[in-house]
Structure 1
């Protein structure tokens, strides 16, 4: 089919003039984009083409056209916890509508969080046994770095690409410092930049930008990076559910993974939420930071701290309190998400909630 498309792209694109032509893995034949563009311009009927693929067309080296004004891009992420549990998950809309934290209860335990992190959201494996899941991820990673990556960028070292993935997973939800990654992977910094772009193009890693808003010049920080699926992140970093859930030393492993889960769930909910919002992180040069910052279309801001703790402590809210002072009326609320089984009010516009509130509210 690809050979036919490349031999006569015009005929291939126009073979179903009155229906929908679905082209999967379009990144393997980007030369079809210009004929598709011409066909759309000749016949402006919505829904004539459905283009799917495992790489971001806008970031490909060989993309001849972006189809700007002619296409809508829909990111297809792994299953959300709401989808897995048969719930409508729209956390931001529900919270904005008003939530009494003392009414919030959850039966999800610390061990449950570790297990759902390890299950992830890939439809093929989230209900499989740990052994089969590990085998699937081994094959998945190998095929991507050794084959799929070359569809996007011909000159790529698969072993180095796998190393970059493991380094990002080991620092899940941490700031992306190219110089450090370059040193740890033993590759030039310019090469590291290209590899980071590649894993984003393949939808394996995403970066969360620092929020600068309209406050002052004191905000600082680099983008945070995270492997998009929690199970893939755990597999790459060699963390088991038992190690993550352990009360002694487990918090250091569980905390970043939970922060990655929160960001990932919110990114999924963005695509169907009744409330439009953007996802950032916040950090000042003084060291004050907030794990996740959500900015609504009307300019109001919701801050979230993610903790692996089963209790809420005053120090967990300090970054949120600082954010509230700086934002004034724009501050919608601050939430500490933890592994506790119930919610609590911790001051004006400050609450603690179970992480599972993201999909259980």
Structure 2
């Protein structure tokens, strides 16, 4: 098992609150992480996609009350959202008996319905944690090229060949479109959603142009917004918001949009191997998306993230506002081994006045690039961001 950064955070959360929701896309490693926690304490694991386990919960309060002294792990909770009401009663009874922490760990795909059910029933009793695929701060530096090409889903990253990995990702996309999304409720034509997902991969890291997407899909703008919201809720797509400081500049107001896993970007575009990736126009944006996901995952809980761009061309790829710091970190992302900064970055730095300026690049050494600006390998900057 590749160690996951979130393990210590999950363990700490279970020591502080009655219920923890571990949310993320399918196959990201949620069950493996939950079972690692289960190995350290008395636990019971129930998979709600299993008919036998769902039968055990025909009377959930009776069954779960029998395991009041154990951590109860409920996998694929979106299959039985009605359980949240029962969990609320059991948590409140446990609190009155002094059993108020670490009772339940629920795992599921992050959908609007799931969040709505739990927020209505477990307000003040649950903490949400997000587990994405493996990122550049969690793998060995020698695996970074494979991570970029194949993405961070463990079965894809660790496949025996690039061809096997690509087939896995293609199957993953098809299963999401044809099975998983319909189970969550929305009735969306699978082919339409695939076309949107593919168009987002083609425009990786660009400003959202909903009108252009709507025209290409022959639907209206509200429909595109609804489809995009779904992909964001499932943690498959990220909308990176623009930074709006108190500055007298004409700032860009549209978000940037990224398909969050680089391997899915490449599968949607039919990129089969490293040579094809390096020759493809999406290579730079794909690397940028990989870096952004890793840096956001490495940053402390409560961190806010943005990009900065003005109409005059001043731009910073990523601004990270860590809790307790009055000014953000400014991070520029470059794919090559000899990173160079454009005039727009320096202009943006004068406006934002960041606490630190960093450049991520593809090399292996950290070095000063200019006055007040350091160049970092991606894994090393992930570690730097995680420090207090």
Classify the TM-score, shorter chain. 0.7 to 0.9
Aligned to 2:313: 287
Farther-moved stretch of structure 1 (6-15 vs 23-32): 6-15
Give the alignment partner of residue 179 of structure 2, picking from 115, 139, 147: 147
* Distance in 2 (alpha carbons) for counterparts of 1:285 and 1:5: 59
Shift in alpha-carbon separation, 1:340–1:49, aligned structure 2, 3 A: closer
Aligned to 2:78: 27
Matches within 5 A, 1:63-74: 65=120, 67-74=122-129
* Distance in 1 (alpha carbons) for counterparts of 2:248 and 2:93: 50
Any conservation in 1 of the 2:88–2:121 contact (CA below 8 Å)? Answer: no
* Distance in 2 (alpha carbons) for counterparts of 1:346 and 1:13: 58
Farther-moved stretch of structure 1 (17-26 vs 148-157): 148-157
Aligned to 1:311: 338
Greater relative contact order: 1 or 2 (C-alpha under 8 angstroms, separation 6 or more)?
Answer: 1
* Distance in 1 (alpha carbons) for counterparts of 2:114 and 2:311: 32
Shift in alpha-carbon separation, 1:26–1:134, aligned structure 2, 3 A: same
Any conservation in 2 of the 1:255–1:308 contact (CA below 8 Å)? Answer: yes
Gaps of at least 5 residues in structure 2 are 1-50
Gaps of at least 5 residues in structure 1 are 88-107
Q: Does 1:320 align with 2:345?
A: yes
TM-score by length of 1: 0.81
Any conservation in 2 of the 1:265–1:358 contact (CA below 8 Å)? Answer: no
Aligned to 1:11: 62
What are the Cα deviations for residues 237-267 of structure 1, in whole angstroms up to 9, with x where unaligned? Answer: 2234213324xxx5x3221011101111012
Matches within 5 A, 1:322-337: 322-328=347-353, 331-337=354-360
Shift in alpha-carbon separation, 1:20–1:344, aligned structure 2, 3 A: closer
Shift in alpha-carbon separation, 1:203–1:276, aligned structure 2, 3 A: closer
Secondary structure of 2:149's aligned partner: helix
What are the Cα deviations for residues 174-214 of structure 1, in whole angstroms up to 9, with x where unaligned? Answer: 22221122122222221111111111222211211111133
Shift in alpha-carbon separation, 1:162–1:337, aligned structure 2, 3 A: same
Aligned to 2:204: 172
Any conservation in 2 of the 1:221–1:284 contact (CA below 8 Å)? Answer: no
Any conservation in 1 of the 2:236–2:259 contact (CA below 8 Å)? Answer: yes
**RMSD value over aligned CA atoms?**
2.7
Deviation at 1:320, TM superposition (A): 2.6
Deviation at 1:146, TM superposition (A): 0.9
Q: Does 1:54 align with 2:109?
A: yes
Aligned to 2:291: 262
